[in-house]
Chain A
């Protein structure tokens, strides 16, 4: 057993961080300015395609990198961290199925639960979007439509969503810590106050627990592990973003602060696949299946 990132996995993460980290930080605010009808930057989408974001799990003969879920999870964690907008999970899952999805030529949206993200910007919508009605989306970076017939959710979509949530959780923990170190009140950095310090510590604990769950689910590909990853990553992202907002004080409540963008995105992702209920029921049923602590699940 060596449950740590390999050197190749660390290198992959560094490359992704390098490419998307820089381009999106600037890109996101431009997009927020387009609210309520943000557009997908097609050049950037193709750049993501070149990076392998969509094709990485395709076999090399099909133009992919032949990598697995662990690598995909690392990439989606970075996408989440950097708040990269667009139907990333849907397009990734369409690679090899919808022409142009793998390379980033085509933007693919998908009905997930009773919602579709980025419908108007998509070239293709799976399985279709009949009767879709636009919502006034709470997240300025994710336009939403409601669809009458709930779509099925692929466990891989759940896992990649959990990876994005993990990225958000890690990012908001960092933002909270940065602010706590620099903002001064009562003549000291607020991070010296225990009430603030403990919010930050709990935020990190949630990140580390979610990380172990998400990475393990990527290695096993087991649906119960994926459900566990989802529950914990949602919690880490949503609670983490709220605590980050609290640590920022009034600044955290402003449109200009990036904190609300993370919280709202985490809320949108937490709704995917109909929310947490299904995952919790799956995890409960697993207890009765009597396999919770035996054999393969512990390996």
Chain B
């Protein structure tokens, strides 16, 4: 068990820190949450800077430890989040890298790395959420195209995306997991209607996407026809693996700020609150260690994260909600004022136990795939 880094890794960290110190002050002002074109431009601009400096492919090509260092340092320095690049960099990109043909990799990966193109994820449907394999959006073959009709929902960044990683049903008669294919759909195609949905936090973070006879070239299919479920599992394992590294670092910073604020406003004298903050310190320290443990494990096993990601996600999503509940205790009545720091974060923390597989589904996964308990109701 070794928590120290190699000389090479330390050097990577030092170089990155130096670069961040140089470029972060030159960034433009962050656009407001409702300014979608502005957000797209800002997020892509940041990705372009990473590309020019040689850090663009850290999510794919670097070792898990290097990736960990990258995510840790960028977060500590206050660098922008992946934002609109999330699906391209952490989801569709890794999937295409693992499952795509050489031509597909050549077509789609460089624009993601360069910060030219944004992807969104069209998996969930009104009647297929937790039961994703029940999806009904249909795709028929017509010559060299698929013709796609159906609807998707909760599609984050749909309004500003160039591409959508789309799950469609290509065989309606096969068992539900065996009739699904994975397509890259250009968002500019005819027949796509995007209707933004407002979240409880007030901004339009995701959308409904209606598909009416949208033509997608057969060459845009990644993986074999009807093999999309397996391809999807590759994608989901990435999402549940290292996706939260930066956030754990951020939560630890917020926790320190909460303590300072509590001391300032007198709430620190309440031993119940103080000890709750102490427990959260234990919690996020442990989540950081668990991240290091999982990264070391991935390193040893060749890179692909395993079901251990479900264990992490279950605990982390809950801890994040507890953190912002503690923030509300520190703020007192101000916790009801949307202008105050942490209040919007508290609202958005509510999505963590739902998005990317609800906590109930994650518990099923842990119980069935790790503990070997019987499947069932």
A contact residues vs B (CB 8 Å cutoff):
1-6, 9, 70, 177, 180-181, 188-189, 191-194, 197-198, 200-202, 204-205, 208-213, 215-216, 218-220, 224-225, 227-229, 231-232, 277, 279-288, 290, 292-293, 297-299
- B367 A200 Cβ-Cβ under 8 A: yes
Q: For A2, A198, A219, A288, which residue has the most chain B Cβ atoms within 10 angstroms?
A: A2
Minimum distance in angstroms from A155 CB to a CB of chain B: 15
- A299 B252 Cβ-Cβ under 8 A: no
Cα A205 to Cα B283 in complex, Å, equals 12
- A201 B367 Cβ-Cβ under 8 A: yes
Q: Which of B46-54, B177-185, B358-366 contacts A (4 or more CB under 8 A)?
A: B358-366
Query: What are 26 inter-chain pairs, A to B, with CB distance below 8 A?
Result: A1-B5, A1-B6, A1-B65, A1-B295, A9-B1, A181-B373, A189-B374, A197-B364, A198-B363, A198-B364, A200-B367, A201-B371, A205-B311, A208-B308, A228-B281, A228-B282, A281-B274, A283-B277, A283-B278, A285-B278, A286-B278, A287-B256, A287-B278, A292-B285, A293-B255, A299-B5
Given A1-B3, A212-B289, A219-B1; A290-B256 close (CB under 8 Å): yes
Minimum distance in angstroms from B40 CB to a CB of chain A: 30
Set of chain B residues within 8 Å of A290, measured between Cβ atoms: 256
Which of B1, B260, B377 contacts A70 (CB under 8 A)? B1
Minimum distance in angstroms from B241 CB to a CB of chain A: 15
Kindly state whether residue B290 has any CB partner on chain A within 8 Å: yes
Q: How many residues does chain B have at the interface if contact means C-beta atoms less than 8 Å apart?
A: 60
Cα A286 to Cα B3 in complex, Å, equals 21
Q: Mark B285-327, 1 if CB is under 8 A from A, else 0.
A: 1111110110111011000000010010011000000000000
Kindly state whether residue B370 has any CB partner on chain A within 8 Å: yes
Minimum distance in angstroms from B249 CB to a CB of chain A: 6
Which of A188, A204, A220, A297 contacts B370 (CB under 8 A)? A204
Closest to B374 in A: A192
Closest to B296 in A: A3
Cα A221 to Cα B121 in complex, Å, equals 44
Set of chain A residues within 8 Å of B256, measured between Cβ atoms: 287, 290, 292-293
Kindly state whether residue B375 has any CB partner on chain A within 8 Å: yes
- A2 B299 Cβ-Cβ under 8 A: yes
Minimum distance in angstroms from B317 CB to a CB of chain A: 11
Q: Mark B1-19, 1 if CB is under 8 A from A, else 0.
A: 1111110010000000000
Closest to A196 in B: B373
Closest to A74 in B: B1
| Additional 17 contacts, C-beta under 8 A, given A3-B3, A197-B367, A208-B311 | A3-B1, A3-B292, A5-B1, A177-B371, A177-B373, A194-B360, A208-B308, A215-B289, A219-B1, A280-B282, A283-B277, A284-B277, A287-B258, A287-B278, A287-B281, A288-B260, A298-B288
- B277 A231 Cβ-Cβ under 8 A: no
- A284 B283 Cβ-Cβ under 8 A: no
- Main SS at interface, chain A: helix
How many A-B pairs have beta carbons closer than 8 Å: the answer is 192
B contact residues vs A (CB 8 Å cutoff):
1-6, 9, 65, 68, 72, 76, 249, 252-253, 255-256, 258-260, 263, 274-275, 277-279, 281-283, 285-290, 292-293, 295-297, 299-300, 308, 311, 314-315, 360, 362-364, 366-368, 370-377
Given A205-B315, A209-B287, A283-B278; A177-B372 close (CB under 8 Å): yes
Cα A279 to Cα B278 in complex, Å, equals 8
- B289 A213 Cβ-Cβ under 8 A: yes
Minimum distance in angstroms from A192 CB to a CB of chain B: 3
Cα A231 to Cα B311 in complex, Å, equals 19
Set of chain B residues within 8 Å of A202, measured between Cβ atoms: 314, 363
Minimum distance in angstroms from B32 CB to a CB of chain A: 28
Cα A299 to Cα B10 in complex, Å, equals 11
Closest to A230 in B: B282
Given A1-B65, A191-B373; A212-B300 close (CB under 8 Å): no
Set of chain A residues within 8 Å of B376, measured between Cβ atoms: 188, 192-193
Set of chain B residues within 8 Å of A220, measured between Cβ atoms: 3
- B314 A201 Cβ-Cβ under 8 A: yes
Q: For A9, A224, A280, A285, which residue has the most chain B Cβ atoms within 10 angstroms?
A: A280
- B263 A232 Cβ-Cβ under 8 A: no
Cα A15 to Cα B269 in complex, Å, equals 49
Given A208-B311, A215-B1; A293-B252 close (CB under 8 Å): yes
Given A3-B289, A200-B367, A298-B72; A231-B2 close (CB under 8 Å): no
Cα A235 to Cα B144 in complex, Å, equals 59
